[in-house]
Amino acid sequence: MKHAAPAGERLQKLLANAGLGSRRQLEGLISAGRVKVNGRVARLGDRATADDRIEIDGRPVGGKRLAGNERFVIIYNKPEGELVTRNDPQGRKTVFERLPRLRAGRWIAVGRLDVNSAGLLLLTNDGELANRLMHPRYRIDREYAVRVNGEVTEDMVRRLVNGIELDDGPARFEDVVDAGGEGSNHWFHLVIMEGRKREVRRLWEAVGATVSRLKRVRYGPVILDSSVKAGQYRELTRDERRALLAAVDLHDRRPWGSLQPRTRQPAGRPAASPWKARRRH
């Protein structure tokens, strides 16, 4: 005798799809007893639907928000001086102040850039996608352009690629490419597989060099091209959407939304990455 499949989706996935956080963050809330379903404290493994009465820290989550199923992803070109946080006690600017409003859910930043760093920041309302893009299991590489003060020797580069022990464990660059320049205006392109706090800067400091400018130019298959000026954003092209989902092995049929529903989404090809171009030579 076959048993009926449990109704609904796993609670953390339902809430992540509603843009209430990454799956990992929501699993933590559920484990801490901060989520209720129909008046009962939820447990990991519970399922729910948009018709259930769900509360987080006593606040109800609207059914309309839970039912909103469209996926959005944008590229934002973060300027130096902005924080990747929703609220800053010091009143400094945050990236969320410039972003378009969503009809349902909220923007989730895929990884972070510190206040003095700039460049590509992916934002989505899809908590499952955000979680996979940040999870070490999927080995999503990040490319940075960095300006380094001080002489950089072959031995320093070798150490950076072979690995250095930092306070929070070993770290390394996948590769380092000299991008030219002289004196205090010497640039390098590098690729790293993680996103630990200030990891790029700390690695250079460990070999005696200082990063004076840092800009992320690629996150996995998505490249920051010249069409996105500092402080601006754009939606992904169809090719970029497909490549991003493929990179994290996500094959669900969740529909893509558009911030400009009456404008046909261009299907342009992603720009060539400086890193990718150099690797062919």
Residues 6+ apart with CB under 8 A from 201: 211, 214
Q: Which two tokens stand for residue 149?
A: 């003060």
CB 128 within 8 A of CB 16: yes
What type of residue sits at position 48?
A
Catalytic residue among 51, 52, 114, 178: 114
Instruction: Determine which helix (DSSP H) or strand (DSSP E) holds 30, and give its type and residue range.
Output: helix 23-31
Q: Beta-carbon neighbour count of residue 121 at 10 Å?
A: 23
Cα dihedral sign for 20, 24, 30, 33? negative
**Nearest alpha carbon to residue 129 among 237, 267, 239, 254:** 254
Q: Is 114 a catalytic residue?
A: yes
Task: Point out the residues that are catalytic.
Answer: 114
